[in-house]
Amino acid sequence: MASPRGQWSGKLGFILAATGSAIGLGNLWKFPYITYENNGGAFVLVYFASVAIVGIPIMVAEILMGRKSERSPVAAFQALAQGKPGGQAWSLVGFLGVLAGFTILSYYSVVAGWTIHYILMSTSGKLAYLAQDPVALQNHFGNEFLASGSKQVFYHLLFMGLTTAAVFAGVQKGIERVAKVLMPALFLILITLVIYSSTTSGFGDAMAFIFKPDFGSLTLASTLEAMGNAFFSLSLGMGAMLTYGSYMGRDISIPKSALQISLLDTLIALMACVIMFSIINTSGIAVSKSSTILFTTIPTVFAKLPAASFFNLIFYLLIGFAALTSTISLLEVVSSYAIDNLGWSRHRAVATMAIAIGAFGTLSALSLGANSTLSSINFIGKGSTEGVFGTMDYLATNWFLPVGGLLIALFAGWIMNPRETRSELEDGHGEMRGYSVWQFLIRFVTPIAVAAIIVSVILGKEYN
Ligand code: TRP
């Protein structure tokens, strides 16, 4: 049956699109800098554990709910909760997801837009020139670029335009096609940069920093931060994976896909750390504000190389590509709500939502321009409530995603019938050996771990 909702062409299309959603600023920007702040080693291990006990179980739950209902979050909860305890109230979890997608995309695309500015500065050679003097580059980034409201709005809207074009074209012809071009390019660029960093003198120290655990430096706050970032990085808690799962055929194994997506996402976060720490170590530049490494420190190191502009270009293309496949998934969730629940055509849904999010996002863009200094950029869940940008980020990463994730885990673990979940996971693939492990995690371990994040947010102890 040809589904009017669209479908992936096959396993590769699904895996690349879902991995594309997962890999983004969360991996390439946030993970390296929080790893840096939390002293590497032990933090990385805690992150692995979070992916295993919180991330993978929720990803399995989301994909299975999407494929079973063949609907996006709101309609999926409506269909799956029928006749179950709580009934239609569960659809509020779907709405929370749509709200989270709306909110995250509105400020995420502001940061994503920066990559376009950096790509253009790379091709013109301006970035390599500015970066010869670290202070000049910092001035440009902080005082000229961030402080310019019109530039912030312009690049934000440009990035929204690219995102809209892809989602507008449909699941297979747009989202999947873009992922099939950008993801291989992204892997190639990452591998090139890892090879380059392995030739630098800072590589050995970087590897030791990332892989030698020092448990003495681990705190409860850093444990919770690792867990929170696993959520964001794997695109969980708002139904993005659920929506992508709803376009997935029954010939694809859900548990295997969830494992593959999570492993790729984690591997790439580690590669980003290797690249960035090698470069920073080699440069000997003191990092004062680790959250701005990406836009201030990296080009100053590349500036010393003969092919500075080439390295600048592939580096910011990498980040731009990663961000684009993520913004696409965010817009898809919001749009598919209007398609499934309001009966709108894809074109009408995507255009309307994109305009609404673009308009709302200008507030975030302007809030940076109005009151930003380098030090106030605390992107993604750092608990900063400064400006519209900081507030949206705070709400989404500290509240919407954990609460959504907790409720998704409870629904899949306790409300859905084990017979239903098992048959969806095993459908066409024989008995799933890990089923009882998944069930135990999603019923007990995952909810408790996510509840701990929420409690820490309530107590205001998060991320400090
Ligand atoms: N995972 C992406 C990143 O690491 C961001 C993202 C895309 C996201 N879709 C999402 C985060 C859905 C949470 C929910 O940058």
Non-local CB neighbours of 104 within 8 Å, separated by 6+ positions = 238, 330, 392, 396, 397
Q: What is the pLDDT of residue 37?
A: 87
Angle at 103 between CA 102 and CA 105, to 5 degrees: 70
Quote the pLDDT of residue 285.
74
Q: Nearest C-alpha to atom 10 of ligand 1 is from which residue?
A: 235
Ligand 1 atom at shortest distance from the alpha carbon of 22: 1
pLDDT grade for 389, boundaries at 50, 70 and 90: confident
From atom 13 of ligand 1, which residue's Cα is the shortest distance away?
Answer: 235
Dist. CA 267–CA 280, nearest whole Å? 20
Binned at pLDDT 50, 70 and 90, residue 322 comes out as very high
Assess whether pLDDT exceeds 90 at residue 338: yes
Atom of ligand 1 nearest to the CA of 326: 7
| pTM of this structure | 0.95
Q: Report the atom number in ligand 1 closest to the C-alpha of 396.
A: 13
What 3-state class would DSSP assign to 259? helix
Greatest Cα pair distance, the chain, in angstroms, is 66
pLDDT at 3: 47
Residue minimizing CA distance to atom 12 of ligand 1:
235
Q: What Å distances lie between residue 444 and 48, 54, 295, 412, 437, CA to CA?
A: 19, 11, 41, 12, 11
pLDDT at residue 1 in the model = 39
- The DSSP symbol for 286 reads -
- Identify which of 244, 326, 379, 392 to mutate to test ligand 1's pocket (most ligand atoms within 8 A of the CB): 326
**CATH number corresponding to 11-367+398-458:** 1.10.4160
Which string of b and e fits 20-42 if b means at least 16 CB within 10 Å? Answer: bbbbbbbbbbbbbbbbbbbbbbb
Mean of pLDDT values over 328-336: 98
Confidence of residue 262 (pLDDT cuts 50, 70, 90): very high
Cα 21 to ligand 1 centroid, rounded to whole Å: 6
Identify the DSSP state of 8. Answer: -
216: its two tokens = 């003495």
Ligand 1: centre distance to CA 17 (Å): 12
**Closest C-alpha to 457, from 262, 217, 231:** 231
Rounded CA-CA distance 129/140 in Å is 12
Q: How many Å apart are CA 35 and CA 290, to the nearest integer? A: 10
pLDDT tens, residue by residue, 48-75: 999 999 999 999 999 999 999 999 999 9
The structural domains of the chain, with segments of one domain joined by +, span 11-367+398-458
Residues in the ligand 1 pocket, defined by CB under 6 Å: 21-22, 24-27, 104, 232-233, 235, 238, 240, 326, 329-330, 401
Alpha-carbon span 183 to 317, nearest angstrom: 11
Centre of ligand 1 to C-alpha 229, Å, is 10
- Surface-to-core class of residue 49, CB atoms within 10 Å of its CB (0-12 exposed, 13-18 middle, 19+ buried): middle
